[in-house]
Chains A and B, each alone.
Chain A
Amino acid sequence: AQTVTQSQPEMSVQEAETVTLSCTYDTSESDYYLFWYKQPPSRQMILVIRQEAYKQQNATENRFSVNFQKAAKSFSLKISDSQLGDAAMYFCAYRSLFGNEKLTFGTGTRLTIIP
C-alpha cells in the first residue's frame, strides 16, 4: 500500500517571502499522480497542483511550483511571494494510475502567513 508523509505539521512564512512544504511517499509503482490540495478555513478542498510521474518537468501554476524527485520519492511544494490568502492546510496526495483508483493523503501541513 502506498503511504504519504508530511513531516511538517505547521509552517509559517512572512508575507511576500517563499516557503517550501515537504512531502515524501512510498510506492513500488512507476506511474502515478501526485497532488497538492489546499484547505482554507472554509473547509473547501482546492486542487493546487498536479504532477504526473512520467513527466520529468516539474509542474508550475503561477506562484506555486513543485520539486519532484522521483528516485527520492519526494514531492515538495514551493509557494513564492506568499500572500495572506495562502494561509490554509496543505495536503499532499498520491494516486495510482492502474488497478487502484484510491487517493491517499498525507496528514497535512498548516501554513500561517505572517503580515
Chain B
Amino acid sequence: DAGITQSPRHKVTETGTPVTLRCHQTENHRYMYWYRQDPGHGLRLIHYSYGVKDTDKGEVSDGYSVSRSKTEDFLLTLESATSSQTSVYFCAISEPTGKKLFFGSGTQLSVL
C-alpha cells in the first residue's frame, strides 16, 4: 500500500473556526488531491497540486485553500468553517503514470 496518512481522522468544530487538515505521503509522488465525499454526490475535487507550490482549484473550491511547501505535505484549510463543510475529506496521491490513485483513510469533519 502507498504511504499516505491523513490527520486528524475525526474532528468536530464550531462554525466560524479555522480548520486545517493534513495529508502526508512517503511516496514522493508529484500529484496530490483533496476530495470531499457527500451522500448523493460521490467524490468531488476541492483542490489539487502538481508540484511544490503548484496548486489549482477543483469543482468545489469555494471556502477552501491549500498549501504545499514540501513534496510530502498537502494542507487543506477551511478559513471559517460552515455547516455545509461537514463531510468526509479524502486525500489522494497519484503515481507518475496516472494509472493509479492512492487514497488516505479519510477525515470525518463535523461543523456544528
Contact = CB atoms under 8 A, between A and B. Distances in A.
Q: Is chain B a partner of chain A in the same complex? A: yes
A52 B100 CA distance: 12
B94 interface: yes
A105 B42 contact: yes
Interface in B63-112: 88, 90, 92, 94, 98-101, 103, 105-106
Contacts, number: 49
Interface of B (DSSP majority class): strand
Interface in A22-45: 33, 35, 43-45
Nearest to B41: A107
Interface string A88-99: 000101010100
Contact of A101 (B44, B48, B103, B105): B48
B41 A101 contact: no
Contacts of B106: 43
Interface residues of A, number: 23
Contact of B103 (A9, A44, A52): A44
Given A44-B103, A45-B103, A47-B100, A103 B40 contact: no
A103 B101 contact: yes
Interface in A74-115: 91, 93, 95, 97, 101-108
Interface of B: 31, 33, 35, 40-45, 48, 50, 58-59, 88, 90, 92, 94, 98-101, 103, 105-106
Given A6-B42, A105-B44, 18 more contacts: A33-B98, A33-B99, A44-B103, A45-B90, A45-B92, A50-B100, A52-B99, A95-B101, A101-B48, A101-B94, A101-B98, A102-B45, A102-B48, A103-B33, A103-B45, A103-B92, A105-B35, A107-B42
Interface of A: 1, 6, 9, 33, 35, 43-45, 47, 50, 52, 91, 93, 95, 97, 101-108
